[in-house]
Amino acid sequence: MIKKSLLIMMLLAAFAMVFTACGGGNNTSEPAPETGQAPETGQAPAGNEGGETGGDATNAEATSLYNANCMACHATDLSGGGNFPNLQNVGGKHDAAEIAGIISNGRNGMPAFKGKLTDDEIDTLSQWLAAKK
C-alpha cells in the first residue's frame, strides 16, 4: 500500500515537471539553463540572420516569442536535447501550417500553446521556424 502511494506521488511529480518545463511564460530575463545567461531580446539564434520571415513577422518578433516560450525546452540555438526535438532544420520537415498546428495543439509531450499565445504569435513563430531549412 505504501509503495503504491509513493509510486503515485512520484508519477504526479514527474507530470508536474513535464508540464511546467515548457512554455516558460513571457519573462525573457531569466537565465537559460544551458548557458546561465539570457540571450538579448531581438538577437536571433544561430543561422537566423536578418530579414523578413513571411508576412509581417520579423526575426526580432519571432526570436522574442521563441525566447519567452520555447527556449527552455529547445535551447537558445534551437538544438533541443534529451527528449526535446532539434528545431534548427524544422522547416525542411514541416511547412508553416504544420508547425502552427504543433504549436497550437502540442504533440509528443509538448504542451499546447493555443490560449497561451495568440493566433498572430503562433503564426509569427511558425513562419519563422518554417524558414529553418
Instruction: Determine the structural domain holding residue 115 and report its residue range.
Output: 56-133
Rounded-to-integer distance, Cα 22 and Cα 79, Å? 15
Tell me the one-letter amino acid at 26: N
Residue 30 lies in a domain: no
How many independent structural domains does the chain possess?
1
Are 64 and 25 spatial neighbours (Cβ–Cβ below 8 Å)?
Answer: no
71 is in an annotated binding site: no
Residue 99 lies in a domain: yes
Residue 25 lies in a domain: no
pLDDT in tens, 78-112: 999 999 999 999 999 999 999 999 999 999 999 99
Name 128's Cβ contacts closer than 8 Å, sequence gap at least 6: 48, 53, 54, 57, 59, 62, 63, 66
CATH number at residue 68: 1.10.760.10
Rounded-to-integer distance, Cα 50 and Cα 44, Å? 8
22 is in an annotated binding site: no
Residue 13 lies in a domain: no
pTM of the model: 0.60
94 is in an annotated binding site: no
Rounded-to-integer distance, Cα 119 and Cα 96, Å? 13
Does the pLDDT of residue 23 top 90, yes or no? no
pLDDT in tens, 53-81: 444 447 899 999 999 999 999 999 999 99
